[in-house]
DNA sequence: AGGTTATGTGTACCGTGTACACATGTGTTT
DNA sequence: AAACACATGTGTACACGGTACACATAACCT
């Protein structure tokens, strides 16, 4: 009971053994609790039970650690989307399925933003090109990252005739804009404390708008 | 040429005379150049030519200064919207005018986000309820803040029959979500360096989506 | 003139990121 | 096994930022 921060588990060996991982875990915990700004190097090392500078053997600097945390957060977003997709019935007709897929992506995004506001904020704190990268640490079980999952859903929609080809290009950004914007309003914006039912309702309304307007 | 930061104008009087204002100006300059995180108390006092603690006679703390800067940024957003609205022709038919009004709001928002990314980011860094407040420092020449301008445009649309009454409630948030999301993607997101023509194009496409889907 | 108040100064402390030199294990080569 | 290089953690140190507290000085008001 002589540990102050959280899990500084007095280590007996000079070597930590798994420091990079411990720092990442700590960083994730910090991000979860307080968003990207809460990911503070010194606190992470404290939780890992090492001296501050030890972190520099595993991360170039604070931002490097933050990016690692962000990758994790992105993979969690992907998983949230995949979880929604998994509940769909492909036999419900190609168009319906495609539309539901797009909605599932949006719903997963919004759900995650609500369930894990800190990680959500971290995931998109510095949205550097996630589009064309195949970093598996940012992907879900499907191997796709959030952006790629959205693209896939939009492809389904286009293939099913639910989205005219001339409007397919860049559709990711339109859909993403809408959902991301709402997620922000709900998680840290003026729609903050909105109760669950209304939250779900406005989310669905927004997805209606996207579906109709895309 | 003995001044390092920017305009530390060696003052001869003990009293500054207009410190609150000077700090605000400095804060705005910092925000303009680097967004909310760049608004740093000590730097503002440096530019004003006073000692760090002098700031506390005019602002409770750093955040208080930041909020003042944010209010200014919001008023600039409102002005950008008003500038777009001013170019409209009310004689073009009620519906068309109403639709153009909504588009003007969106366009002004997007333009400002592009022209002043730092201030834009600052304006919405902590979107605390701007809806029902009448702080004139956050308003444009019309006396309305950005949210209120949007509401007004949507009212016009509803009055002109362009938006069914049952879908009027909360429409602000749907439109705002979409435009805000895109502004983020364009200003700090993956759509960052997008050339002007394409930027305009995707902006209009997004507004099409909102108009169709609202 | 004397007191009260507003505004700027000096000093000081804490937390954060990070550079640099040093210590201590681990693994490899002879 | 001894020697050495390398990887990884430690100690010390500095700069920067926010901010508390006591003090100085000027403006204002009897």
A-B Cβ pairs (cutoff 8 Å, strict): 103
Q: In the prediction, which pLDDT does B1 show?
A: 35
pLDDT over 70 at B8, yes or no = no
Q: In the prediction, which pLDDT does A207 show?
A: 98
Taking only the tens place, the pLDDT of each residue in A122-164 is: 999 877 777 778 899 999 999 999 999 999 999 999 999 999 9
Q: In the prediction, which pLDDT does A61 show?
A: 98
b/e for A86-119, b at 16 or more Cβ within 10 A? Answer: eeeeeeeeeeebbbbbbbbbbbbbbbbbbebbbb
DSSP codes joined into one string, A78-113: HHHHHHHHHT--GGG-HHHHHHHHHHHHHHHHHHHH
What is the CATH number assigned to the segment(s) A19-63?
1.10.10
Cross-chain residue pair A185–B127, CB shorter than 8 Å? yes
Query: A193, A199 in Cβ contact below 8 A?
Result: no
pLDDT over 50 at A6, yes or no = no
Cβ burial of B203 (10 Å; 0-12, 13-18, 19+) is: buried
Average pLDDT of every residue of chain B = 92
Average pLDDT over residues B200-205: 96
Q: Which long-range contacts (CB under 8 A, 24 or more apart) does A52-59 make?
A: A54/A16, A54/A19, A55/A23, A57/A19, A58/A19, A58/A20, A58/A23, A59/A20, A59/A23
d(Cα A137, Cα A73) in Å, to the nearest integer? 9
Measured torsion, CA atoms of residues B137, B141, B143, B147, in degrees rounded to the nearest 10: -80
Q: In the prediction, which pLDDT does A4 show?
A: 37
Taking only the tens place, the pLDDT of each residue in A155-203 is: 999 999 999 999 999 999 999 999 999 999 999 888 988 999 999 999 9
From B127, B131, B202, residue closest to A173, measured CB to CB: B202
Could you confirm whether domain B74-213 is CATH 1.10.260.40?
Answer: no
CA-based nearest distance A182→chain B, Å = 5
Q: In the prediction, which pLDDT does B131 show?
A: 74
Taking only the tens place, the pLDDT of each residue in B61-81 is: 999 999 999 999 999 999 999
A75-213: CATH class: mainly alpha
Percent of chain B whose pLDDT exceeds 90: 84
Average pLDDT over residues A47-67: 97
Q: In the prediction, which pLDDT does B126 show?
A: 78
Question: Which residue has better confidence, A12 or B42?
Answer: B42
Q: Which residue of A has its CA nearest to B178?
A: A178
d(Cα B115, Cα B123) in Å, to the nearest integer? 13
Residues of B in contact with A191 (CB under 8 A): 173
Chain A residues with at least one Cβ partner in B under 8 Å? 126-131, 170, 173-174, 176-182, 184-185, 188-191, 202, 205-206, 208-214
Question: Which residue has better confidence, B146 or A7?
Answer: B146
Cα–Cα distances in angstroms (integers) from residue B140 to residues A144, A176, B164, in the given order: 45, 30, 29
Residue A188: helix, strand or coil by DSSP?
Answer: coil
Query: B52, B5 in Cβ contact below 8 A?
Result: no
Residue ranges covered by each domain of chain B: 19-63, 74-213
Taking only the tens place, the pLDDT of each residue in B80-126 is: 999 999 999 999 999 999 999 999 999 999 999 999 999 999 999 87
Cross-chain residue pair B180–A179, CB shorter than 8 Å? no
Cross-chain residue pair A182–B190, CB shorter than 8 Å? no
Taking only the tens place, the pLDDT of each residue in A89-120 is: 999 999 999 999 999 999 999 999 999 999 99
pLDDT over 90 at A12, yes or no = no
CA-based nearest distance A15→chain B, Å = 37
pLDDT over 80 at B26, yes or no = yes
Question: A150-164, B120-134, B152-166: which has the minimum mean pLDDT?
Answer: B120-134
Taking only the tens place, the pLDDT of each residue in B172-191 is: 999 999 999 999 999 988 89
Give the DSSP letter of residue A134: -
Q: In the prediction, which pLDDT does B10 show?
A: 62
């Amino acid at each position: 009971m002589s540990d102050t921060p959280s899990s500084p588990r007095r280590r007996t060996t000079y070597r930590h053994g798994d420091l990079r991982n411990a720092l990442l875990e700590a960083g994730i915990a910090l991000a979860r609790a307080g968003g990207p700004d809460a990911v503070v190097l010194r606190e992470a090392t404290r939780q890992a039970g090492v001296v501050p500078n030890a972190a520099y053997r595993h991360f170039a600097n604070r931002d490097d650690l933050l990016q690692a945390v962000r990758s994790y957060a992105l993979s969690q977003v992907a998983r949230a989307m995949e979880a929604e997709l998994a509940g769909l019935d492909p036999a419900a007709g190609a168009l319906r399925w495609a539309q539901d897929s797009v909605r599932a992506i949006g719903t997963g995004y919004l759900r995650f933003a609500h369930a894990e506001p800190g990680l959500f904020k971290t995931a998109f704190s510095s949205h550097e090109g996630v589009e064309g990268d195949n970093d598996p640490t940012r992907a879900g079980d499907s191997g796709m990252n959030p952006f790629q999952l959205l693209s896939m859903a939009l492809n389904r929609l286009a293939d099913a005739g639910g989205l005219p080809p001339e409007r397919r290009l860049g559709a990711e950004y339109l859909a993403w804009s809408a959902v991301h914007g709402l997620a922000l309003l709900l998680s840290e914006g003026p729609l903050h404390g909105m109760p669950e039912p209304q939250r779900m309702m406005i989310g669905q309304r927004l997805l209606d708008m996207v579906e109709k307007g895309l």
